[in-house]
């Protein structure tokens, strides 16, 4: 159907607090006017303060979820987030072997609370099986350093060097997210075979940044599912996320790192 709503699929963990993971992805898809399907890889007991438990979904059940969605829905793009274990990574890689659309891989490793969301043994599996399959890899600075076995990038030159090193691992593009850097300006770098694009935004004075990485990558995937070119998709998602962070204090959710405001463009501001 020519007028069908675009569909995006998220493969990620569930956040019981609703601010990150599958829940954030589906909110970002909806905010972009895209229908969201989901494959849950792990169930987390999580809120704005901590992750208190993680239950891994069996790899064959993860595979069955992917097969069920792709056999019926016309998925335009896939976002991959928390995978947790080597077995799940292998299952996802196998399940996507026939998928022809763009894949955004967000290498989720650590929650905002500092809790681990990826087993150490799974890093190698991700590097070997999924990163070469990704159309866009979206690490933050700690994740990029972990993937490369290097220290956290401290300068823009170091960020660019690490982006090139990650691109050599096989993805078609790399988005280095600079939110963990110091300073009043956050700088992201998008590196493709055509060159480097830099995106900047003023740092927002808020602790409510739970789910920023999930939201960013899924917002990009939603736009790719709609047929938007990768640089334009990243620019649009970057602007959307900045607005969601600016509006995050309106929500007043939880006692820790609250979520960004996924529907800041749709909901009326609270008095």
- From the list 44, 48, 212, 215, the catalytic residue is 212
HEC states along the chain?
CCCCCCEEEEEEEEECCCCCHHHHHHHHHHHCCCEEEEEEEEEEEECCCCEEEEEECCHHHHHHHHHHHHCCCCCCEEEECCCECHHHHHHHHHHCCCCCCCEEECCCCECCCCCECECHHHHHHHHHHHHHHCCEECCEHHHHHHHHCCCCCCCHHHHHHHHHHHHCCCCCEEEEECCCCCCCEEEEEEEECCEEEEEEEECCCCCCCECHHHHHHHHHHHHHHCCCCHHHHHHHHHHHHHHHHHCHHHCCCCCCCCECCCCCCCCCCCC
Q: Which residues contact 120 (CB under 8 A, 6 or more apart)?
A: none
177 is an active site residue? yes
Q: Residue 14: name the closest of 52, 73, 55 by CA.
A: 55
- From the list 44, 214, 215, 258, the catalytic residue is 214
213 is an active site residue? yes
214 is an active site residue? yes
- From the list 213, 243, 254, 256, the catalytic residue is 213
- From the list 177, 186, 192, 258, the catalytic residue is 177
212 is an active site residue? yes
- From the list 13, 81, 178, 211, the catalytic residue is 211
Say which residue the tokens 């987390």 belong to: 44
Q: How far apart are CA 135 and CA 78, in angstroms?
A: 10
Which amino acids are annotated catalytic? 177, 209, 211-214
């Amino acid at each position: 159907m020519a007028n069908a709503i675009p569909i995006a699929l998220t493969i990620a963990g569930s956040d019981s607090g609703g601010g990150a993971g599958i829940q954030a992805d589906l909110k970002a898809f909806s905010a972009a006017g895209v229908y969201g399907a989901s494959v849950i890889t792990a169930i987390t007991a999580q809120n704005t303060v901590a992750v208190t438990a993680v239950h891994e979904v069996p790899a064959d059940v993860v595979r069955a979820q992917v097969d069920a969605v792709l056999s019926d829905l016309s998925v335009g793009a896939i976002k991959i987030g928390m995978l947790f274990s080597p077995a799940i990574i292998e299952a996802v890689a196998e399940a996507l072997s026939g998928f022809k659309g763009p894949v955004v891989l967000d290498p989720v490793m650590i929650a905002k609370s500092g809790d681990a969301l990826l087993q150490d043994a799974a890093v190698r599996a991700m590097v070997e099986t999924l990163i070469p399959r990704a159309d866009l890899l979206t690490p933050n600075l700690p994740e990029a350093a972990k993937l490369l076995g290097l220290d956290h990038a401290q300068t823009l030159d170091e960020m660019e060097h690490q982006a090139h090193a990650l691109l050599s691992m096989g993805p078609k593009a790399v988005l280095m997210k600079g939110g963990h850097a110091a300073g009043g300006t956050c700088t992201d770098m998008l590196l493709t075979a055509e060159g480097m694009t830099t995106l900047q935004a003023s740092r927002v004075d808020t602790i409510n940044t739970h789910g920023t990485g999930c939201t960013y990558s899924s917002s990009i995937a939603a736009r790719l599912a709609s047929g938007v070119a990768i640089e334009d998709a990243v620019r649009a998602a970057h602007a959307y996320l900045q607005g969601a962070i600016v509006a995050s204090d309106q929500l007043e959710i939880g006692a820790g790192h609250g979520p960004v405001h996924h529907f800041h463009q749709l909901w009326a501001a609270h008095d």
